[in-house]
Amino acid sequence: MSNQSLATSPEEQRALERFYFHEARLLDNRQYQQWLGLVSEQISYLMPSRVNVQVDNRARGNEDMISVERELEDQESMGCPIREETYIHLMVRVERAYKINSWSENPPARTRRIVGNIELMAREDDSLSVLSNFHLYYARPGNEDVIYSGQRRDTLLSQEEGFHIGRREVVMDYANIAMPTLGLLF
C-alpha cells in the first residue's frame, strides 16, 4: 500500500463517509443485528497484540526504528493476536447482547464513537482498502469510563446494495490495557 491515499471524487468520499457514519450510529444505538448485515460472511476481524519492542540499533536514524508495524503481533506472526475472529465469533457476540442472562452486557455499555480520517488507500476491482480512525467513549456501571482509541484497516467490498466489510484489522493505541474489555465491536 502506498503511503498516499487515492484521489477520490466527492461522491465516492461521501459514499465512504455515509457508510462509516451509518455503521457508527448502528453500533452506538446497539443495533448490532443490523450492523451484522454490513459484514461479509467471509470476514476476518482482527486485532493484533501490541508490544513494547526492543529498539533495533541497526535501524537508528530511520523511521523504521519506531514504526508502528514493528509493535504488532498480527495474524502472520508467531505471536498471539488479541482477536482473530470470523463471522461466527461476531454472531456470538451480537446474539449475546440480546440475551437476558448476558451479564457482561447487562446493563449495556453506553458508547459514543467518532470516526474520521477516512482514506481510500487502494482499489482493486470491487475491493477497497480504507483506513479510518476512531475515538470511542465507553461507560458501564461498576467500571471507570474509558476512551478507546485506534485505527481500523478495512477491506470494503463494493456491492450492489452498498459496502460490506470483508476484512477489518483494528490497531489499538494502548500502552497498557487498562480497559475492561477489548471485545467490543470497533
CB-nearer residue toward other proteins: 28 or 74:
74
Taking CB under 8 A as the rule, does residue 73 contact other proteins? yes
Instruction: Name which of 171, 174, 169 is nearest 147 in CA terms.
Output: 174
Q: Give least dist CB 167 to other proteins, A.
A: 16
Q: How far is the CB of 72 from other proteins (least distance, A)?
A: 11
Q: What are phi and psi of 148, to 5 degrees?
A: -90, 135
Q: Cα torsion for 47, 110, 147, 3, to the nearest 10°?
A: 50
When asked if residue 176 is in the footprint of other proteins (CB under 8 A), the reply is yes
Grid coordinates of 70:
514493528
- Using CB under 8 A as the binding rule, whether residue 62 contacts other proteins is answered as no
Is residue 180 close enough to count as binding other proteins by CB under 8 A?
A: yes
State which residue, 85 or 169, has the beta carbon closest to other proteins.
85
C-alpha cell at 88: 461466527
Among 11, 103, 124, 160, binds other proteins (CB under 8 A): 103
Whether residue 108 is preceded by a cis peptide bond, meaning omega within 30 degrees of 0, is no
Q: What residue type is assigned to position 84 of the chain?
A: E
Q: How far is the CB of 32 from other proteins (least distance, A)?
A: 14
The answer to the question of residue 108 lying near other proteins (CB under 8 A) is: no
Q: Quote the cell numbers at residue 10.
A: 466527492
User: Which positions from 39 through 58 interact with other proteins, judged by CB under 8 A?
Assistant: 47, 49, 51-55
CA–CA separation, 45 and 185 (whole Å): 10
Q: Does 102 participate in binding other proteins (rule CB under 8 A)? A: yes
Cell of 83: 482477536
> How many residues are present in the chain?
186
Instruction: Identify residues 136-165 at the interface with other proteins (CB under 8 A).
Output: 142-144
Q: In one letter, which amino acid is 82?
A: I
Instruction: Catalog residues that contact other proteins under the rule CB under 8 A.
Output: 47, 49, 51-55, 73, 75, 77-86, 88-89, 92-93, 96, 99, 101-104, 142-144, 176-183
